[in-house]
């Protein structure tokens, strides 16, 4: 099939690589380059870098709703448009172009976790199973008919970043099967049950501060769900400390109390968490042991 691919972050790269092996990818649409870092270096999206390595023409319209963007898609004459974390809403004028429709790869088992941060929210909520869904796109937000799904368990200590990488690969595998069966007419689209739908929003730093009065499971899920970004935080000596990884453990005490320093265990509202990797202000990520070597804490100290 002639495929137009639309995606932006690293999550969308494995699917593009897999599709390019079996289909003719005639164009890739991705978000415009953006400044990154303290020096605001103009940086291309991961999908653009991948497409250029594969020798595929790249398009970076500010909006897919302009006549120019819509005309670009029409001129490519795709049989199918595949979308994965593109970051733009496609107008009906684009959705109606390909004969096999527009297929989205979504990082959850729809209708649960529609929206911008399905992978992170599943971890934040302590889900034990998630997956990817391929769906026919419509004008709504992740509301289209489901084509196929693939499930995977979520590890007890797995971060959203680690799950993100696994689901990206799983999505790449699922889209190949979906396209094959779609072309053969072997798929029956299934309507979503809107009554079961849940929605996610983009993450921001307002969700970072840890409240140790919460149960340890909630704190641990917060650390996992916000890793690698925007990262859970606490306060020690008036300075912010990022917490990258943790582990649920037993223990009791006033919330925020240091129960042990080898390993570093902090009491929560129920049970406790072990802090594994942290990052002081202006420093690199390090183990809790390395942090304590330069920032001594004692059993009974209160953090947060």
126-149: per-residue pLDDT in tens? 999 999 999 999 998 899 999 999
Contact indicator for 160, 224 with CB cutoff of 8 Å = yes
Per-residue model confidence (pLDDT) at position 231: 98
* Residue whose pair of structure tokens reads 């008919």 in the numeric block: 145
How crowded is residue 107: how many other Cβ atoms within 10 Å of its Cβ? Answer: 27
Query: What residues pair up with 225 in beta bridges, in sequence order?
Result: none
3-state secondary structure of 167: helix
- Residues 6 or more apart whose CB falls under 8 angstroms from that of 285 comprise 242, 244, 277, 278, 279
Q: How would you write the pLDDT of the chain (304 residues) with one tens digit per residue?
A: 999 999 999 999 999 999 999 999 999 999 999 998 888 899 999 999 999 999 999 999 999 999 999 999 999 999 999 999 999 999 999 999 999 999 999 999 999 999 999 999 999 999 999 999 999 999 988 999 999 999 999 999 999 999 999 999 999 999 999 999 999 999 999 999 999 999 999 999 999 999 999 999 999 999 999 999 999 999 998 999 999 999 999 999 999 999 999 999 999 999 999 999 999 999 999 999 999 999 999 999 999 9
Q: What is the DSSP letter of 299?
A: T
pLDDT at site 37: 85
Residue ranges of domains in the chain, CATH in brackets = 2-200 (3.40.50.170), 205-294 (3.10.25.10)
Contact at 8 Å (CB) between 130 and 110? no
The SS3 of residue 196 is: helix
What element of type H or E holds 98?
Answer: none
How far apart, in whole angstroms, are the C-alpha atoms of residue 68 and residue 72? 6
Q: Give the pLDDT score at 38.
A: 83
For residue 179, the model assigns a pLDDT of: 98
Q: How far apart are CA 11 and CA 168, in angstroms?
A: 5
Give the single-character DSSP code of 202: -
Are 78 and 66 in contact by the 8 Å Cβ rule? The answer is no
Task: Supply the pLDDT for residue 237.
Answer: 87
Burial class of residue 171 in the structure, from the number of CB atoms within 10 Å of its CB (0-12 exposed, 13-18 middle, 19+ buried):
buried
C-alpha span between 48 and 75 (Å, rounded): 20
Query: Which tens digits make up the pLDDT trace of 157-185?
Result: 999 999 999 999 999 999 999 999 999 99
Quick one: how far is CA 66 from the chain centroid? 28
What does the angle CA 119 – CA 177 – CA 139 come to, to the nearest 5 degrees?
A: 55
The predicted pLDDT at position 182 comes to 97
Sign of dihedral through CA atoms 220, 226, 231, 235? negative
């Amino acid at each position: 099939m002639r495929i137009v691919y639309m995606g932006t972050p690293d999550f969308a790269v494995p699917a593009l690589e897999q599709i390019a092996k079996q289909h003719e990818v005639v164009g890739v649409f991705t978000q415009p380059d953006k400044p990154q870092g303290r020096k605001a270096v103009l940086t291309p999206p991961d999908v653009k870098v991948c497409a250029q390595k594969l020798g595929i023409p790249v398009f970076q319209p500010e909006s897919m709703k302009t006549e120019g963007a819509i005309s670009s898609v029409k001129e490519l004459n795709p049989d199918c448009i595949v979308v994965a974390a593109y970051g733009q809403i496609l107008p009906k004028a684009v959705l109606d172009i390909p004969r096999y429709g527009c297929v989205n790869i979504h990082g959850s088992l729809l209708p649960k976790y529609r929206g911008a941060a399905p992978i992170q929210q599943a971890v934040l909520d302590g889900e034990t199973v998630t997956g990817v869904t391929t769906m026919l796109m419509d004008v709504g937000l992740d509301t289209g008919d489901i084509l196929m799904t693939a499930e995977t368990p979520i590890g007890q200590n797995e971060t959203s970043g680690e799950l993100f990488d696994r689901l990206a690969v799983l999505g790449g595998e699922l889209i190949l099967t979906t396209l094959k069966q779609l072309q053969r007419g072997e798929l029956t689209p299934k309507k979503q049950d809107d009554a079961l739908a849940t929605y996610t929003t983009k993450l921001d730093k307002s969700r970072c501060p840890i409240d140790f009065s919460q149960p340890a499971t909630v704190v641990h899920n917060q650390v996992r769900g916000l890793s690698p970004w925007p990262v859970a935080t606490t306060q020690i000596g008036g300075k912010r400390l990022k917490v990258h990884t943790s582990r649920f453990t037993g223990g009791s005490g006033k919330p925020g109390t240091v129960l042990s320093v080898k390993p570093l265990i902090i009491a929560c509202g129920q049970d406790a968490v072990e802090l594994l990797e942290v990052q002081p202000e202006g420093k690199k990520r390090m183990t809790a042991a390395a942090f304590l070597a330069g920032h001594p804490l004692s059993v009974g100290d209160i953090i947060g």
